[in-house]
Amino acid sequence: MTKPLTVMFSAGEASGDQHAANLFLELKKQMPDIQAMGMGSSKMAAAGVDVRYDSSAIAVIGVVEVLKHYAEIRRVLAFMQRLVAEERPDLLVCVDYKEFNYKLAKFAKQQGVKVLFYVSPQVWAWRAGRVKQYGKAIDMMAVIFPFETAYYEAENVPVRYVGHPSVDKVHPQYAKAEALRLFGLDGQRPVVGLFPGSRANEIKRLLPVMLAAAVQVQQRLPAVQFVLPQASSIPDALLAAYLPEALPIKVVKNQPYEVMQCCDAVMTTSGTATLEIALFTVPMVITYKLSPLTYWLGRLLVKTPFIGLPNIVAGKLVVKELIQHEATADNLAAEMLRILTDDAYAQTMRAELVQVKQALGQGGASKNMADLVVAMLSCPLASASLSQRASLNQ
């Protein structure tokens, strides 16, 4: 009997786990007998992937955090390399988790295993020279922003723009009026969303500042309502330790998109959430704090003038960014109050967020990725010439 085709996934963070799960579900529609295994977490397991290592233990960001988990990360990398060598999958799909997956991809190529990298490293922000390095370690780069293809095409690295996964994902279950009712919010009064992040260290660094800003906003606008989406990764006890009794805040679990559409303005951490909020065209302010060492290294290495994804996609400052020493309660409150009281300012921001939404296209990322996987499984990329490989990108 013919051995079933096997795809190996390597996803090191919650977002990558979700992207890989969605991709595999689409892939099974085209190839019902396809098998998959590798590193991921609960979403991939639920989709039918044989998860050999639960990546939630190494889902960390920042120099200091990575150093703390360095021994485990090295151990897992060695484990994944052995998996490649022993099981020899027909295709390795590396999903985000850049540095780890670059090393794994490089090893896989040396073993003669085809490699598809999903979600490009931010070469437009720092270390543009990595394009050549990745070109030697992969067979195809799948990018989620349309402007990223130019960086790889310039170095003759096969690349495909597949669309941003958030475009498909950002669909609330309820209409805005119904969501407001379910959350006990008054549609006639302004609603401010607090999005402190999905990691414990983000909660600890940013939520106290957001709450202090919220107090100032309420003092100026007593009718304002506050809502906070709680990620599944954040324990109740951690959140409860910061929420003040004197400031009424509606906490909503696991319904971020329902919360987003209810908001008139949002304070949010930097990250994918900023793009998701942009898809609802809700005015926002982006804020972030890193450990001093991580921030110092970032200032040395990062070349882009922006940290917020809506601004990066737009190529200009659409929403204000308050990073590190600028991430103060006074600054956050001032921006929230401007959005809530200056109609012309808020409308201009909404109009520019509409353009960001349009730039991201119509979606279909998981389906496009599945099509790409099928094409790569059908084509002997590992032995093909560069020109033959590049034809996949047409």
Contact 183/261 with Cβ under 8 angstroms? Answer: no
Q: 3-class secondary structure for 323-342?
A: EHHHCCHHHHHHHHHHHHHC
Q: Note the pLDDT tens digit of each residue in 144-162.
A: 998 899 989 999 999 999 9
The answer to whether residue 218 sits within a structural domain is yes
**Based on the domain organization, do 127 and 53 belong to the same domain?**
yes
Name the percent of the chain lying above pLDDT 90: 70
Give the residue among 197, 267, 272, 277 at the shortest CA–CA distance from 239: 197
Instruction: State yes or no: pLDDT of 69 exceeds 80.
Output: no
Contact 319/340 with Cβ under 8 angstroms? Answer: no
CA–CA separation, 18 and 49 (whole Å) = 12
* Total domains, the chain: 2
Question: Interhelix angle for 200-220 vs 329-341, to 10°?
Answer: 50
The answer to whether residue 187 sits within a structural domain is yes
How confident is residue 60, by pLDDT bands cut at 50, 70 and 90?
low
* CATH number assigned to the domain comprising residue 61: 3.40.50.2000
Query: What's the pLDDT score for residue 297?
Result: 59
The answer to whether residue 238 sits within a structural domain is yes
**Based on the domain organization, do 238 and 292 belong to the same domain?**
yes
The answer to whether residue 90 sits within a structural domain is yes
Contact 195/229 with Cβ under 8 angstroms? Answer: yes
The answer to whether residue 94 sits within a structural domain is yes
Largest CA distance in the chain: 73
**Based on the domain organization, do 117 and 266 belong to the same domain?**
no
**Based on the domain organization, do 79 and 188 belong to the same domain?**
no
Distances (CA, A) of 323 to 265, 275, 357: 18, 17, 24
Q: Note the pLDDT tens digit of each residue in 103-113.
A: 999 999 999 99
Contact 12/1 with Cβ under 8 angstroms? Answer: no
How confident is residue 20, by pLDDT bands cut at 50, 70 and 90?
very high
**Based on the domain organization, do 106 and 240 belong to the same domain?**
no
**Based on the domain organization, do 122 and 239 belong to the same domain?**
no
The answer to whether residue 1 sits within a structural domain is no
| Number of Cβ within a 10 Å radius of residue 82 | 11
pTM: 0.81
| Residue matched to tokens 């509606």 | 250
Own/partner pairs, 30-36, CB within 8 angstroms, 24+ separation: 30/370, 30/371, 30/374, 31/5, 31/374, 31/377, 33/4, 33/5, 34/4, 34/5, 34/6, 34/7, 35/4, 35/5, 35/6, 35/7, 36/6, 36/7, 36/8, 36/9
| Number of Cβ within a 10 Å radius of residue 368 | 17
**Based on the domain organization, do 152 and 81 belong to the same domain?**
yes
The predicted model gives 90-107 an average pLDDT of 95
| Number of Cβ within a 10 Å radius of residue 385 | 8
Q: Between 62 and 103, where is the model more confident?
A: 103
**Two tokens at 50?**
């044989």
Instruction: State yes or no: pLDDT of 324 exceeds 50.
Output: yes
The answer to whether residue 288 sits within a structural domain is yes
H-helix segments, the chain: 14-30, 42-47, 63-68, 70-87, 98-110, 130-137, 149-153, 165-169, 176-182, 200-220, 236-240, 256-262, 272-279, 292-301, 309-314, 329-341, 343-359, 365-378, 386-390
**Based on the domain organization, do 255 and 369 belong to the same domain?**
no
**Based on the domain organization, do 296 and 348 belong to the same domain?**
yes
- The dihedral through the CA atoms of 216, 221, 222, 224 has a sign that is negative
Q: Note the pLDDT tens digit of each residue in 212-221.
A: 999 999 999 9
Q: 3-class secondary structure for 152-194?
A: HHCCCCCEEECCCHHHHHCCCCCCHHHHHHHCCCCCCCCEEEE
**Based on the domain organization, do 247 and 282 belong to the same domain?**
yes
The predicted model gives 117-123 an average pLDDT of 87
**Two tokens at 103?**
């090393």
The predicted model gives 20-25 an average pLDDT of 96
**Based on the domain organization, do 58 and 117 belong to the same domain?**
yes
**Based on the domain organization, do 340 and 378 belong to the same domain?**
no
Query: Where in the sequence is the domain holding 245, given as residue range(s)?
Result: 169-359
The predicted model gives 53-81 an average pLDDT of 77
CA–CA separation, 101 and 187 (whole Å) = 46
Query: What's the pLDDT score for residue 383?
Result: 36
Instruction: State yes or no: pLDDT of 224 exceeds 60.
Output: yes
Contact 295/324 with Cβ under 8 angstroms? Answer: yes
